[in-house]
Structure 1
């Protein structure tokens, strides 16, 4: 059975809670990622996504505030290295999330699993998750006239 440690991205790029939104956005751009764990004293204290940056900070002119002002700090959905892929898929589908941090037995972050990781390794698993995660998008009004 496939576990988190088998498909996770292992080189975790992260920021500290004192990093500015601008710095986090630059780290995302430079590393081609849309999700950053926020680590303090080797502990996962939050996560910030590219969507958080756009919705919570740019729209409110907060680009030079720190990431802890717009990060998700509770609940942070995460899995262990030994979590089975089916359970990860269920979590992502139920919570409508696209990425999840992976922790070892000591609680240290060792990787990230994204929908992209699942798609690369086991494309058959992505169909149900993809539908559940993007379902809210279907309700956007597309009858906009310019």
Structure 2
């Protein structure tokens, strides 16, 4: 199965010039812990509820802080035509629960989460990924050099 068959296509996107208050409000409305950050149709970052808590609130930054100031700007992503099972294993290896999906022109086309995979991939693969992601230790950040 390809990533495009499992991913969520209707993705809310934060803007770098948006306040974290606005982005957090959207995250609350859609019940999401993360949002891709886009500038036009280019993926420029990822904003998580943890970014807001650790990079803003914990450092005394207010709700009018710009998304660009707390987002992870170097993020991991996958391609829509990749094998979903391989991406599932990579999520486990990198200890991340969701990943933006781009086309081969590197335009954002969706997001793939463990929940998406749970609905589409064989149960044992998702269970193994969740187990690996949930084990202590290792990198817990979207900050890296892009694709794994």
Q: Give your verdict on TM over 0.5.
A: yes
Match runs of 1:42-121 below 5 Å? 42-62=41-61, 63-74=63-74, 76-121=75-120
CA RMSD of aligned residues (A): 1.3
1:39 matched to which residue of 2? 38
How many angstroms does 1:60 deviate by? 1.6
| Structure 2 unmatched runs, 5+ | 138-148
2:134 matched to which residue of 1? 134
| Structure 1 unmatched runs, 5+ | 138-146
When the two structures are superposed, what TM-score results if normalisation uses the length of structure 1? 0.87
Secondary structure of the structure 1 residue equivalent to 2:17 = coil
Q: In structure 1, how many angstroms separate the alpha carbons of the residues matched to 2:12 and 2:37?
A: 9
Q: In structure 2, how many angstroms separate the alpha carbons of the residues matched to 1:53 and 1:121?
A: 31
When the two structures are superposed, what TM-score results if normalisation uses the length of structure 2? 0.86
- Report the number of matched residues: 135
Q: In structure 2, how many angstroms separate the alpha carbons of the residues matched to 1:110 and 1:49?
A: 19
Q: In structure 2, how many angstroms separate the alpha carbons of the residues matched to 1:68 and 1:90?
A: 30
1:67-107: per-residue Cα shift (whole Å, max 9, x none)? 11111111x11111111012211221111111001111221
Match runs of 1:12-31 below 5 Å? 12-31=11-30
Secondary structure of the structure 1 residue equivalent to 2:16 = coil
Runs of 4+ in 1 over 4 A off after TM superposition: none
Secondary structure of the structure 2 residue equivalent to 1:15 = coil
Secondary structure of the structure 2 residue equivalent to 1:72 = coil
